[in-house]
Amino acid sequence: SATATAVLVAIAILLFLLAAGGGFALARTVGGQSLFPPAAVPRSTSNGPTDVPPPSLVQQSGDASYATGNGGQFGLAVPQGWQKFVAPHTTTKFGASTAVQYVSPDGRRSLRVERLAKYFAEFPDDGEYITWLKGSYPANAFALFGPSPLPDGKGTTLTYRLAEGGALPESGGGGTRVTFMNLIQAGTSLWLLSVTVPAEQESSGQDVFDRVAKTLSVSD
């Protein structure tokens, strides 16, 4: 009858599926593989290689003025191949400025130049900026080393670590970034020169910063 035929067809399909599933399980078992899907591989927290070859430097000129005609030109040797970006930057404490940034091809390292015009017309030294910088981040996500005077006495140098999305690990490594910064007085302006790299690349980042910092010239 039609009913009996339908039942036989259903049984045949079921037996086929069971056989196929059993064959898959047998193949996985014989091959030494689990029947369950593989566990997700944890994402790496590394920020890239620790050994980064020193880049070649190329002399460039830039403009960190917020308004045309009020100074702000600079010269600087920049790592070759790093892309330039210019963007306005405003804080309630120091007002408007322009940040000129150069970013490495892999996006992990950056060089930044910023000028706070008329800073020294309002503040006696760069301590006000350093205090503001420290207060801009949670205490457990920010670690400051320095500041120390520059050899020529015309500014300050410092280093700081910043956690990415959390607190700084006790070891000081992991998902943190390191910034090397010089704060330089020129006229009434405060110039900020910095290089930021992953913590794993601190040594090579320090080398890039030291080489670049020697080449900075500004016009105020």
State the CB neighbour count (10 A cutoff) for residue 62. 18
pLDDT (0 to 100) of residue 38: 39
Q: What is the mean pLDDT of residues 122-137?
A: 95
Lowest mean pLDDT among 61-70, 84-93, 189-198, 205-214: 61-70
Give the residue from 118, 111, 103, 110 showing the smallest Cα distance to 72.
118
Distance CA 150, CA 164 (A): 29
Highest-scoring range by mean pLDDT, 1-10, 19-28, 76-85, 163-172? 76-85
Distance CA 209, CA 196 (A): 9
Question: Bigger pLDDT: 136 or 8?
Answer: 136
Q: What is the mean pLDDT of residues 38-48?
A: 40
How confident is residue 117, by pLDDT bands cut at 50, 70 and 90? very high
Q: Given a cut of 90, is residue 218 above it in pLDDT?
A: yes
Distance CA 147, CA 157 (A): 6
Residue 31 CB contacts under 8 Å (≥ 6 apart), including other chains: none
84-90 long-range Cβ contacts below 8 angstroms, 24+ apart: 84/60, 86/62, 89/114
Q: Given a cut of 60, is residue 25 above it in pLDDT?
A: no
pLDDT (0 to 100) of residue 154: 86
Q: Given a cut of 50, is residue 45 above it in pLDDT?
A: no
Q: Given a cut of 70, is residue 21 above it in pLDDT?
A: no
Q: Are 186 and 155 in contact (CB under 8 A)?
A: no
Question: Bigger pLDDT: 79 or 13?
Answer: 79
Q: What is the mean pLDDT of residues 199-217?
A: 96
Q: What is the mean pLDDT of residues 126-136?
A: 96
Lowest mean pLDDT among 54-63, 143-152, 173-182: 173-182
Predicted TM-score (pTM) of this structure: 0.75
Q: Given a cut of 50, is residue 32 above it in pLDDT?
A: no
